[in-house]
Amino acid sequence: MRVAAEQQNPAKMAGRMMQAARCPTDELSLTNCAVINEKDVQIGQYVTVKTNPPHKYVFTVRFHQSMPPGSIGFSLPQRKWAGISIGQDVEVTSYNFDKAKQCVGAMTVEIDFLQKKNVDSSPYDTDKMAAEFIQHFNSQAFSKGQQLVFSYCDKLFGIVIKDIEGMDSSILKGDASTGKKQKIEIGLLLGNSQVIFEKAESSSVQLIGKAKTRESRQSIINPDWNFERMGIGGLDKEFSDIFRRAFASRVFPTDIVEQMGCKHVKGILLFGPPGCGKTLMARQIGTMLNAREPKVVNGPEILNKYVGESEANIRKLFADAEDEQKRLGANSGLHIIIFDEIDAICKQRGSMAGSTGVHDTVVNQLLSKIDGVEQLNNILVIGMTNRPDLIDDALLRPGRLEVKMEIGLPDEHGRVQILNIHTAKMRDFNLLATDVNVKELAAETKNFSGAELEGLVRAAQSTAMNRHIKASNTVEVDMEKAEKLQVSRDDFLASLENDIKPAFGTHQEDYASYIMNDIIRWGDPVTAVLDDGTLLVQQTKNSDRTPLVSVLLEGPPHSGKTALAAKIAEDSQFPFIKICSPDKMIGHSEIAKCQAIKKIFEDAYKSQLSCIVVDDIERLLDYVPIGPRFSNLVLQALLVLLKKPPPHGRKLLIVGTTSRKAVLQEMEMLDAFSTKIHVPNISQGEQLVEALEMLGSFQEKERAVIAKEVKGKRVWIGIKKLLMLIEMSLQMHAEYRVSKFLSLLREEGALDSDLHMRI
């Protein structure tokens, strides 16, 4: 804060010009002092620094031999506050405090984490923080608006001085306080000064204790709230968003809220995949708030076979809130009602064919209670569902369940939090081996939900305990070894491989069968296809402009399109990889097939990075050349899904395969793909010999005979068909294998000196 030094300090000495410089060490930067050389000792303990334009700022001085004479060092927050640049000439003048008027009685400071990446949810005791602040900055000068850095509990906090009250002069004389409080611009912090902390707006720092002001009004929020202790991990952002929307108005004094004409949010809808913490979050919101005990009800429990009973059950849930609002009005406490599986009772009205209308009247009753003619302002309804698309639209409008929050799969940081929560007890009792790295496990558990991570920990515990069980005629526990039980890294990895698989993750067995023989790089065409696939994977990962990338691998039958598509998907290392294959839809009706394909895409949208292989598209479409016939319903579904971009922040790679490019062209499906890649057959004798060498099926002499036979001739065979012919030939006696192989090639029409005339 700029000051009029002439008024504050009439006894100041004549100023001298000094050059502004950086603070010489990080340790000195945390002292909040300006640093000068010991040779400039004629400058007093406190100085006024006059900048150009002529503003004046008061600093406490500290001497250090590393600062050149004639220079004065400032930390970055000091330079930012005073507008001082490196190398700038400033006028430095000694400053004397009037201790009768300029001692700090109470100082209010605004606090936030200095670096957002170091944010945590641990509560900080403001009483202890204030004591350390006074000890660290005792006898220092502070100005209103000043910025500084404060180190506490190995964390760096940014501090802004919001307000300074002068100390009652009668206290300094040893007399009783007169109660007079005077605002001052500059003050000297003393050992008996009071420091009051307020958290900065939008800050996530959690303050407890008495040395805080703004927090004391937030009586609705439980001061002992802690994410990890409540068993919640990976949902920090979701809690922050819910708090901003649903509780910001509830922490303000009721008179201010009424003056603004503000209405509280009455409903929250939590939706997302199973096992991601919707029910846990809803229950813990009740714990977080100093509110009535939440009423938790499962949706189906509301329904009753007797006429009117279902509606009466809804009314009973709101009866206590209605009664309290009538008695206490705006001072009524908050009543929380939690509906699990809310889609069971709140389906779209009129959507249930043959229904007696019970569901419709239940929805009507719930709508009228949340936001009807007689409005309740002391309720918070929390609904949870996996199917938000089934819920009646009227329930989702503002004034009802207006805050819609997706509780998605946790990211890597969230998985670290969740695993730490579920292994905390083992760590406390030394039952977790030192080789268990939670960050490594989090990296390996892509697309695991919170429930699946908990299941992984349980599976690892079971694996560890099983080592100490003697299974003979009877089942006994080896007590000597059991006392030394520890859950190791190998237990987690074994459980990860054998026991727990993510519902929305990559199932390697789905695509492993397609590349069980690996990729045979018989020539440049195969390498080119894989290189193009790698580029498309990188585009999907890195490009924000194209969150949806689709590629069609087309070529003749048996050319290895499916294997190449599976290889591109495997090499992508995406957390969600799914193969949409016709072999899993045998016997499905058109509608069932459309729903199965749609579900694969909807599951993919729940992951940050996803890859879908749509294999053998003409088979999915039920295409046959006789007629020709195909399923138009499935075609239209695929056309829509291939062009539909994933939700914001999600990315999707689609790899399609077909042997009927011309048919897809007629169906106008080729244009639905971003790009097309041709997968050719083996067409040269040299490529055939290269494939045989890579497979290593024939001996070198045998390959030489085959090479001589195919030299100068055209071949035309897919790698998949070639593998089949090789395996058939290998069943023969050694001396007949080559001749059998060559005859099979000719029988298949794959080897012919005049083949080029037919192609």
Q: Which pLDDT score, from 0 to 100, does residue 216 have?
A: 38
Show the tokens assigned to 619.
């088979």
Q: What is the pLDDT of residue 221?
A: 58
Of residues 10 and 306, more confidence is placed in 306
More confident residue, 230 or 668: 668
As a CATH number, domain 104-208 is: 3.10.330.10
Say if residues 478 and 484 touch (Cβ distance below 8 Å): no
Least confident range of 65-69, 504-508, 523-527, 540-544: 504-508
Q: Where are the alpha helices (DSSP H) in 47-90?
A: 76-82
Mean pLDDT across 281-289: 72
Q: Which tokens is 534 given?
A: 């790698």
Residues of the chain with CATH 2.40.40.20: 16-94
Q: What pLDDT does 336 receive?
A: 86
Q: What is the dihedral of CA 188, 194, 195, 198, to 10 degrees?
A: -130
6 confidence band (pLDDT: 50, 70, 90):
very low
Q: Of 42-46, 108-112, 228-232, which one has max mean pLDDT?
A: 108-112
Q: Exposed, middle or buried: residue 620 (CB in 10 Å: 0-12, 13-18, 19+)?
A: buried
**Which two structure tokens, joined as six digits, stand for 439?**
């960050």
- Region 508-678: CATH code: 3.40.50.300
User: Beta-strand (E) ranges in 665-706?
Assistant: 675-678, 682-684
Record the tokens describing residue 24, joined without a space.
Answer: 């010489």
More confident position, 553 or 128: 553
How far apart CA 399 and CA 395 sit, in angstroms, is: 9
3-state helix, strand, coil in the chain (%, to 5): 40, 20, 35
Q: 147-152 and 155-166: which strand pairing?
A: antiparallel
> Rounded distance, CA 376 to CA 326, Å?
10
**Owner of token pair 């303000």:** 252
Q: How many CB atoms lie within 10 A of CB 350?
A: 11
d(CA 203, CA 456): 34
Residues of the chain with CATH 3.40.50.300: 227-406, 508-678
Question: HEC states along 299-356?
Answer: HHHHCCCCCCHHHHHHHHHHHHHHHHHHHHHHHCCCEEEEEECHHHCCECCCCCCCCC
Question: Residue 215: is its pLDDT beyond 50?
Answer: no
What does pLDDT average to over the chain?
82
Q: 442: closest CA among 413, 462, 409, 421?
A: 413
List the catalytic residues.
Answer: 561-562, 615-616, 643, 720
Distance CA 493, CA 499 (A): 10
Q: Pick the range with the lowest mean pLDDT from 67-81, 157-171, 223-237.
A: 223-237
Report how far residue 347's alpha carbon sits from residue 350's, in angstroms, rounded to the nearest whole number.
Answer: 9
* Exposure b/e, 186-215, CB count within 10 A at least 16 = b: bbbbbeebebbbbbbeebbbbbbbebbebb
Which pLDDT band, with edges at 50, 70 and 90, does 458 fall under?
Answer: very high
The class level of CATH for 682-748 reads mainly alpha
In this predicted structure, which of 111-120, 335-344, 564-573, 639-648 has the lowest mean pLDDT?
A: 111-120
CA distances from 656 to 505, 581, 725 (A): 20, 10, 27
The pLDDT of residue 10 is: 40
Mean pLDDT of 241-269: 76
Task: Look at the domain 16-94 and name its fold.
Answer: Barwin-like endoglucanases (2.40.40)
User: What are the residue ranges of CATH 1.10.8.60 in the chain?
Assistant: 412-471+480-499, 682-748
The domain 412-471+480-499: what is its CATH number?
1.10.8.60
pLDDT range class, residue 220, cuts 50, 70, 90:
low
Question: Under 8 Å CB-to-CB from 595, ≥6 apart: which residues?
Answer: none
- List pLDDT tens digits, range 404-421: 888 888 888 888 988 988
Does domain 227-406 correspond to CATH entry 3.50.50.60? Answer: no
Please report the pLDDT score of residue 676 as a whole number: 95
CA distance 369 to 315: 8
pLDDT value for 651? 94
CA distance 426 to 433: 9
Domain span(s) for CATH 3.10.330.10 in the chain: 104-208
**Residue 565 — very low, low, confident or very high, per pLDDT cuts 50/70/90?**
very high
Q: What is the pLDDT of residues 24-49, one digit of tens each?
A: 888 888 888 888 888 776 777 888 88
Question: What residues does 165 pair with on adjacent strands?
Answer: 106, 183
H/E run at residue 143: strand 141-143
Least confident of 128-142, 322-336, 469-483: 469-483
**Strand pairing of 16-22 and 71-74?**
parallel
Quote the pLDDT of residue 218: 39
Angle formed by the axes of helices 719-729 and 737-747, nearest 10°? 140
Q: Pairing mode, if any, of strands 675-678 and 651-658? A: unpaired
287 neighbors 232 (Cβ within 8 angstroms): no
pTM higher than 0.75 for the full model? no
